[in-house]
A and B are shown apart, each in its own frame.
Chain A
């Protein structure tokens, strides 16, 4: 027995600081570790944020904006399991671990860079920690009774992240390429606030992943092995079953792709940024404003729709969208506001997404029609 015990201690010592990596570990719901590293999904090793074996990075056609943070998204599933394809939602196997690491490119003076170009974010063998500042990593793990969301906040030394169910607030200085800088408070949502976005059915309160769905994932990604459609790749590595012909898979567009019609870009942007709340079952269904990708009714989409309980968020404007007049439209007011009592989305940003706001501005400016009474 003594021998066994010492053996265990020795084994632990060996893996303690630098050693071959342990497998991804799915901890029980009631016994989640305090440290992110214990999941062995993404870990800071030798100055790099590295992905474990079979941890697959992915990105989205249009992503949800979070204060210009860059995001390293990964998915891992237990060996021999796969997600079942669904047009709106995949049925992920129990044990799936999805991670999203929020970080910023570092400026020379230690502040962080403001850039809305995420195309160079290829994870490959990892992120060099001398070039980025890691803020938080959110873990979504699928249990047999549903998803669990866990917010981990990176320490200043960037060696590990610690579970902070109460969330956190960090002061950051964001520097633009033109040298201008602004300070802001990056807020890490608390455990309940995770559900604020991820429980897109407010009645069932069940948490679901927002990004990794067919229409968001249906795009190419540059893997170490080369460029490939993400869904095909997932199928190839065994993470996805039942994938139909790609031509039959829905696809949101990249909101920055100027080759695509403005309306389509705007709808994709609204879908990922707003649709998780503003859908017929979401927490924002109280407003009667529906912004998910499949909404066809113009009034529900906001055209000439008066507010219900917007309060300060109305910005003294009368309709969510006034065709041709973004300066009279509540939607524009709310996405351009940083007042927590007025801005949209309510959580996850302290800054205005200038590029997104501009897109919505142009879309509404070019919209035909008017709201005059008839």
Chain B
């Protein structure tokens, strides 16, 4: 472990340098038209992050607008049932209802510092779109959000929330009509408007500096949780740190707070979108990472009941952590995730987002299988609340059965 920790400190969850590399992953695979823009974003972010004034402004926004710090909630009844000690980091309690607001506020502030008047974003479950629309409204920017037609159908409530906040929602009808296609379309649009618009990528994906920048904005989750665990646990650091992974922003933010500890890091993917667990090396949306592909190198569509996990790859830093053996990545089925939502709702009175429910489902499975030793301490990031998913849950037969 010590050797791995040293390598992680040297190569991962730090500053990836000007090439934006996490081991062999990352980089900047963008059309030449975007190279100068990405360089500018990287430079501005580097300066902003070392500017106490910028950090102070962001901290204030996170405190007075987003509601940070979020609590650490002991899941007492479920812990007893599972025979472990489960702590929930409550990103579902942020304003807009998910961790996405941490990054959206950071990038909106950066965009304003760069003199940009618009934010472009892509969204799957709609949470990043809502967060971007919120940050744009707060800072006086316009927002354009690209969203797959299929996601628009299943996340109608979030579409309305974005529109209510003044954002334009652009349907994307190509490919699988989900997050991956929305990301492609947002990148195409960005090329034509780089002088006025900042592309506010919602996960730790995309070209340098995005994986690094988004993780940096999200590490507030892990840093807060580390301090809270130190107060809550006799061991100070949990045995396991678990988070769901689509692109992987809440997981990256959480892991960043614990990567230099003895905690075991577990990223949980959707079985139909397990880029880290089942992907192959490739390049998509500006970065080298692991992506689901067929034998000819075409990107394979991901499928999950959780729209936020419906992405055929993971951020490059996750691919690197996996290669290092510092984090492991597990896959969970839709049925397990739905069962986990119900179980948490009925034991703790918390309706989790389907994305977060994947992480919880793995904890339940691992505890049941004895993989988590009795008494093990587990920190789990609840990345968002389940309001947006109630229609999907209502349609599941499992819910119609008595508890």
Whether both chains belong to one complex is answered with no
Tell me the B residues contacting A by CB distance below 8 Å. Answer: none
